[in-house]
Chains A and B, each alone.
Chain A
Amino acid sequence: MVIVPPSIDLAAVGPELILTGAASLLLLVGVFLKEQSRFLNPWIALLGVILAAGCASSSLFPHTTFQGMYAADLFTRFFKLLFLLGTGMTILISIKYTADEQIEHAEYYALLLFATIGMMLMAAASDLVTVFLGIETLSLSLYVLAGYTRTRLVSNEASLKYFLLGGFATGFLLYGIALIYGSTGHTNLAKIAYAVSHGNLNTGLLTIGALLLLVGLGFKVAAVPFHQWTPDVYQGAPIPVTAFMSAGPKAAVLAVMIRVFEQSIAFMNVDWTVWITILAILTMTVGNIAALVQSDAKRMLAFSSISHAGYAMVGMAAASREGSSAVLYYMLVYTFMNIGAFGILALVARQNEQRTAMRDFTGFAYKNPALAFIMTILVFSLAGIPPMAGFMAKFYIFMSAIKAGQNFLVLAAVLNSAIGIYYYLRFAIYMYMKEDEAPSTLPPLRASLGLILALVISLYGVIRLGVLPAEYLDFAGKALLTF
């Protein structure tokens, strides 16, 4: 018997191939050229990211390939570009950080690229097997990255905690996948959708499977009540890694949620939007209230990133094409603004991350007026103050939920935004309105080239998407059409 080779479309996985190549190159250059090539590492990684982005934005005809395992559509493309943006910005803010902490190894950048490959596969997955492998590739890289500064105890703790709870969550995820397979007989999302809408299925089994899947994904996106690991991990991980983790991976999990719940299980006679609504309300509220009482800026940004996942889930709870496209837009905006804010935090924190408290921002505006101004714009955007992009993103999310009749949910979200404004403005208050008590003896802060580049991208995004959102919204809207 001769097996007919399946038809595969290598161009569709071009970005993944490029990143794999770049990561391999990094590893080999790292071991063959030794120390003297270290300064090259971020630039090799960056080159890979740019090439992959170029490949991802080339024209495509929406289709699935690899025997229905991989969806090459606009949805995938949107997320790929989002992830590459996040990774690129993370690399830029990592350059100085890794040099200061003496961790500018090839491995650091290679792991960032591996994580990005995992995220891309998650967004493109049209089969639960691909979803699982994507999540694993992402998680494995993140566990290691969280503990990358091996000499810092908090970093070790972050890695271990993340690994143990992440492994536990993977168990839920797999069990959910197994039960869905057991009830429908398929792992392919399109086939599951067909089976759900046409077959006489065991809905009990399917419901439990979907719930377990939601729990597993909830862990990964840090939705309350599955968020326990988040604050410690985000605080312990190196700052650029925290920035990376808070944007891309969350968007990737949301992409999986949209694909699985809106495309596949949507036809189930159980109202899954109730689950998402509960998760969204809990996530926003707990994240915001916890962020309110933090005195450490890094921890505060960690909690606030929990609440941002909650806002995004409001759009999912709308269960409409409009809601989903608002989620896409939200995550894009969040990537722009959050990584920029973390970049400035990394600068203020100085070596060994000793100064991450809110009060370390005291008087920042007098010493570095330009950076303080940028930070102000970013936190205004994070808080959702017009005309910044953060406002537009929230606006579209809330609009879609209102149209779906989720008024209570929107009320909760608006109240939460008010809390958010309060704690985000504390940054501005510390920077502008407080005097430095004692004149500090620390050397003045200077933004590195990488940070400046990252901030320029960040500012561009925050202002462009806030003032002229139409083009990107259109892209996000179209992404949902080609499922």
Chain B
Amino acid sequence: MLNQYIPVLVMTLAACGTAAGMIIATTIIGPKREFEEKMEPFECGVSPVSDPKSRFGVRFYLVAMLFIVFDIEAVFLFPWAAVFRELGMFGLVEMLVFILVLTVGLAYVWKKGALEWE
């Protein structure tokens, strides 16, 4: 039963392997001529070192929240697409109702300007 997941396992291992391999390989085979200026990451005008935990605005939060809602909407399309032919007209109508309600949401969010970076 779980045989179907072997590709997933292989994929996971390959991904981890690639990431780990890249780091290991560069540390081993990369040339090492280090001096202080070179080791400093360069970005024009931006302080090279900063706290990663700086504050993000509430706008990110709104976008993330809307993303989740529409993500969940999309999730329902998978099983629908799989049985679309079997369901026929009935399925089309019920999905249309579902989408219609959420389209109201989309139109609302759009016109409200919640998708704009205020």
Contacts and interface: CB of A to CB of B under 8 A. Distances in A.
A–B contact via C-beta, under 8 angstroms = yes
Given A3-B83, A20-B101, A28 B90 contact: no
B83 A24 contact: no
A2 B88 contact: yes
A32 B107 CA distance: 10
Nearest to B85: A2
B108 interface: yes
Contacts of A1: 86
A28 B87 contact: no
Interface residues of A, number: 11
Nearest to B93: A5
B102 to A, nearest CB: 10
Contact of B90 (A5, A24, A31): A5
B74 interface: no
A5 B86 CA distance: 10
Secondary structure at the A interface, as helix, strand, loop or mixed, is helix
A20 B101 CA distance: 8
Contact of B112 (A3, A5, A24, A31): A31
B29 interface: no
A107 to B, nearest CB: 9
A33 B104 CA distance: 15
B111 interface: yes
Interface string B78-118: 00000100111011000000000100110110011000000
A3 B89 CA distance: 11
B34 to A, nearest CB: 50
A27 interface: yes
A43 B13 CA distance: 60
B111 A32 contact: yes
Contacts of B87: 3, 5
Given A3-B83, A20-B101, A28 B107 contact: yes
Contacts, number: 26
B108 A3 contact: no
B89 to A, nearest CB: 8
Nearest to B103: A24
A476 to B, nearest CB: 33
Interface residues of B, number: 13
A2 B89 CA distance: 11
Contact of A31 (B83, B88, B107): B107
Interface in A1-30: 1-3, 5, 20, 24, 27-28, 30
A30 B86 CA distance: 40
Contacts of B83: 3
A1 B83 CA distance: 10
A204 B111 CA distance: 54
Contacts of B90: 3, 5
A2 B83 CA distance: 9
A19 to B, nearest CB: 12
A28 B86 contact: no
A27 B104 CA distance: 8
Nearest to A24: B104
Contacts of A30: 108
Contacts of B104: 24, 27-28
A31 B86 contact: no
A302 to B, nearest CB: 30
A379 to B, nearest CB: 41
A404 B30 CA distance: 86
Contacts of B91: 3
A32 B111 CA distance: 7
Given A20-B101, A24-B101, A24-B104, A2 B111 contact: no
A3 B111 CA distance: 39
Contacts of B112: 31
A94 to B, nearest CB: 20
Nearest to B83: A3
22 contacts: A1-B86, A2-B86, A2-B88, A3-B83, A3-B86, A3-B87, A3-B88, A3-B90, A3-B91, A5-B87, A5-B90, A27-B104, A27-B105, A27-B108, A28-B104, A28-B107, A30-B108, A31-B107, A31-B108, A31-B111, A31-B112, A32-B111
Interface of B: 83, 86-88, 90-91, 101, 104-105, 107-108, 111-112
Given A3-B86, A31-B111, A32-B111, 16 more contacts: A1-B86, A2-B88, A3-B83, A3-B88, A3-B90, A5-B87, A5-B90, A20-B101, A24-B104, A27-B104, A27-B108, A28-B104, A28-B107, A30-B108, A31-B107, A31-B112
